[in-house]
Structure 1
Amino acid sequence: MKTDTIQRQIKSFKKRFGEAHLLLACHAALPLAITPDLLYCIWANFQQDVKGRGIDIPWVAVTDLLFSGLWEEVGLEIYEMDATIREMLLNYLKDNHNFGEQRIKELSEFLLVYIQPQLESDDPDIQEFAKAQRWTAQAYLRPKASAKGLGLALSRAYQHDRDDLIRIAAVVETLAEPLSKFKKLLIYGRGMTRFARGDLKGAKAEFDKIRRWGNQAHVAGVRLLLPNNQELTREKPKSFRVYWVTSGIVILVLVGGVNWVQSPPPDPPSIKVKDITTCSLSKGMAEVHGLDQQLIDRLNILRPNSLVSFDDLNVEMDGATWPYLQAPAKQALQQAIDERGIRLVVASAYRTIAQQLVLWNLPRDELCRIPIAARPSRSNHQSGLALDIRDYQGWRPFLEKYGWRWLGPTDAPHFDYVGSNTIDIRANSILAFQQLWNLNNPTDRIEENGSYDAETEQRLNNSPVDGFPKES
């Protein structure tokens, strides 16, 4: 994004919302990513300048900022800011004599305290997300510690998990200003980004800048390994191009010979669950809509009326959300909505095991690293007793009054219904899939036991997203 475009965007934001909103945006620019809960905590803790004078940021600024366009939603209730916008807002804060470098350090100290419970989480994805926030805070407080942590992470990713290279290198690039003294780390990060993306020429150019230190470079006491020349000059896969098209016959020129492909070409293979690689949650889960419908229909055959629709309530559904809950949960939801008297925006409710597997696959297989995802069969969303909603702070007292429990800041939009007269339908939802699979794959049957095991996950990953040919 061009600098002048960003300047106009920030100026327009200030004109629309005012100086107080802009100051909150500047404060919230320090974390690499924000959630509504983190933004609310920043608002609550930084209502004064460094001289103790109030800055009177209204509470509505929290919601206004999230939908202002300064941030982009990259996951459920997770927002990231363009690096250039972030830099400009932080500079605006630093250049203001009422805040300056002191406020940057105060924000960094606050962020370290805020993420501490997440660093101790049993969920590795939450831990990784918190580590990135820690590197950010340390970059402004103890840049050497941040450089050391990032250097170690890059070296480990290069040796063991190269899918992580782009993600970690992007953090290095974002923190270029506070880590400006660690030039070798910045060069190394740029080189690893190009290397991971297959731009070997660009990677070699970056690594050549630090070759004078040998095949290893040291930053903050950490040894950074450089790819060898063989890795930087490996052959690219052979490619082909269309040479001539006539009379329904396509001639393809391929290195090493000519292939003839007769027309019409065969139908493309059906897309399988494992083929979904988008970082967009709504798009990814929408792709399994056909399979979802079959799973829901079979579940209601196995256990009639186990799920009821709540789209007749005063709700607005996001994306690919299925409007299903167990009947007691729906009744409690209706009471909460009626009492508050406004529309509830639902980001997620019932999820099939297919949707949950899509979500589960993303943190392991994608660079987007969705920070929170339960394994299929373990998510309460598969029970028909869970909701993810917008404006969770406003809805919390109403939902809790009628038997909904807030999960907490680690997954702030999430509520579970803990009232009476509910059942656990997760095993039935797994059994529904197992029966569908066996019906359509008589030579590759799996045990119909309602248990989510490795065999079930493998078959689910290989299931067509549009659904099976046979339903009964």
Structure 2
Amino acid sequence: MKTETIQRQIKSFKKRFGEAHLLLACHAALPLAITPDLLYCIWTNFQQDVKGRGIDIPWVAVTDLLFSGLWEEVGLEIYEMDATIREMLLNYLKDNHNFGEQRIKELSEFLLVYIQPQLESDDPDIQEFAKAQRWTAQAYLQPKASAKGLGLALSRAYQHDRDDLIRIAAVVETLAEPLSKFKKLLIYGRGMTRFARGDLQGAKAEFDKIRRWGNHAHVAGVRLLLPKNQELTREKPKSFRVYWVTSGIVILVLVGGVNWVQSPPPDSTSIKVKDMPGCSTLPVRGLDQQLINRLNVVAPNSLVSFADLNVDMGPAVWPYLQLPAKQALQQAIDERGIPLVVNSAYRTIAQQLVLWNHASNRRCGISTAAPPGESNHQTGLALDISDYQGWQPFLEKHDWQWDGPKDRPHFDYVGDNIIDIRDYSVLAFQQLWNLNNPTDRIKQNGMFDAETELRLNNSPIDGFPKES
């Protein structure tokens, strides 16, 4: 994202919400990612400047920030900020004499306390993400400890778990400013990123800057392993995909040039829905697409894409609505004349089961979720958006009903010529399962019963081999 564009975005945010909202955004920019709970805790704990004077941030700022467009929802209630926006907001805070470096230190100390229970979690995904937050806090408090930890993590990932290379290197890149004194670490991180992406020549050029002897280098006071020269000169294999799933954050990277295990085609050996790691629903997109395709066979043209409208969406959003809802949405967007930021729209039965499983097991901070087949987001008539207050009069004029204070970003289309497609979505899965499991068939009745739940939990997240 260009600097000028970001500056305009921040200026527009301040003009719309005011200085207090902007200050909360600056405070919330320090963590690598935020959740509603973390943002609320920041709001609660930082209501004064470093001189003890109140800054009067209203409670509604918590919700306003999450749906302002400064953050992107990358998983269920996990929000991530563009690195350049993050840097600008933190600099704004540091340059303000009422906050400065002291507030950065206070925020870092707070973050270390906040993540402590997560570091002790039994969930390895939550624990790993908490470590990344710890590196972030330490980068401002104890930069040498952060640099050492990141260097060791990169070295271990190279030796034992190379899928982690890109995501750890991304943390190093994000923390380049507070870790600027550790130039060798930044070089090491860039080298590992290029190595993981198959740019062997670029990786070798970086590693040669810090290689002292053999395949080792001293970074941040520790001896770290480097790829051997023969690894940096071999022929590149074909590209493949690497998934990293943390507590809600999913990164999908096209990779080539490293001889890791390639992603297999969808089959019965891939990860099952019930075993899916992390908190995000994004990894089930392969199965999602098959379910959407099948639904439009069971109930022809029940869903249409609205991606052609003037909308902005994150990678986890399925841009599908029933046709009357799309037509009404287009009228509202045309009347306001600006892009609509959509954070959630159609949700498949597989996505809903993931959320249902999280709620049933009290995972990922989810205590309640509608059972599959019952969520409004499965109707093709629901949207969660940013700037709900600005859009409310335009949407309501065209039969999009606001859900009220209980769910501020949520709107449901209540106009004419719509149908309830939720039973059809269950039927679509039942047909898809039977097509691929002729010896383990289930009833095709559109009811989400125990048999259907069991089979959906045992479905491959990448999708089935057969669609028709």
TM score, norm. by length of structure 1: 0.60
Shift of 1:194: 0.6
Q: Check the 8 A contact 1:28/1:42 in 2, yes or no.
A: yes
Distance 2:107 2:136 in 1: 11
Partner of 1:37: 37
Rate the CA distance shift 1:281–1:211 in 2: closer, same or farther, 3 A.
closer
The 5 Å alignment of 1:46-445 reads 46-212=46-212, 214-237=214-237, 280=282, 286-290=288-292, 352=349, 372=364, 437=433, 440-442=436-438, 445=439
Q: State the SS of the aligned residue for 1:289.
A: helix
Which runs of 5 or more structure 2 residues have no equivalent in the other structure?
240-264, 300-315, 322-341, 358-362, 378-382, 386-402, 411-425, 443-449
Distance 2:118 2:238 in 1: 45
The 5 Å alignment of 1:441-460 reads 441-442=437-438, 445=439, 457=458
Distance 1:215 1:441 in 2: 50
Rate the CA distance shift 1:221–1:381 in 2: closer, same or farther, 3 A.
farther
Amino acid at match of 2:153: A
Rate the CA distance shift 1:52–1:354 in 2: closer, same or farther, 3 A.
closer
Q: State the SS of the aligned residue for 1:111.
A: helix
Q: Check the 8 A contact 1:292/1:355 in 2, yes or no.
A: no
Distance 1:387 1:126 in 2: 29
Amino acid at match of 2:290: V
Distance 1:271 1:168 in 2: 28
Partner of 2:3: 3
Partner of 1:14: 14
The Cα RMSD (Å) is 4.6
Shift of 1:106: 0.6
Q: Check the 8 A contact 1:50/1:98 in 2, yes or no.
A: yes
Q: State the SS of the aligned residue for 1:287.
A: helix
Taking only the aligned residue pairs, the percentage that are identical comes to 72
Q: Check the 8 A contact 2:139/2:147 in 1, yes or no.
A: yes
Distance 2:228 2:44 in 1: 50
Partner of 1:331: none
Q: State the SS of the aligned residue for 1:52.
A: coil
Amino acid at match of 2:228: N
Distance 1:348 1:112 in 2: 35
Q: How many residues align?
A: 346
Q: State the SS of the aligned residue for 1:125.
A: helix
State the Cα deviation string for residues 224-260 of structure 1 (Å, max 9, x = none).
Answer: 2111111111112489xxxxxxxxxxxxxxxxxxxxx
Distance 1:98 1:455 in 2: 54
Distance 2:376 2:131 in 1: 27
Shift of 1:396: 13
Detail structure 1 runs of 4+ shifted over 3 Å in the superposition. 270-286, 290-294, 318-323, 345-360, 371-374, 379-391, 395-399, 435-442, 445-462
Larger Rg: 1
Distance 1:354 1:321 in 2: 14
Distance 1:232 1:287 in 2: 38
Q: Check the 8 A contact 2:288/2:350 in 1, yes or no.
A: no
Q: Which moved more, 1:173-182 or 1:275-284?
A: 275-284
Amino acid at match of 2:171: V
Rate the CA distance shift 1:386–1:140 in 2: closer, same or farther, 3 A.
farther
Rate the CA distance shift 1:380–1:141 in 2: closer, same or farther, 3 A.
same
Rate the CA distance shift 1:450–1:221 in 2: closer, same or farther, 3 A.
farther
Q: Check the 8 A contact 1:135/1:146 in 2, yes or no.
A: yes
Q: Which moved more, 1:454-463 or 1:131-140?
A: 454-463
Partner of 1:23: 23
Rate the CA distance shift 1:321–1:204 in 2: closer, same or farther, 3 A.
closer
Partner of 1:463: 464
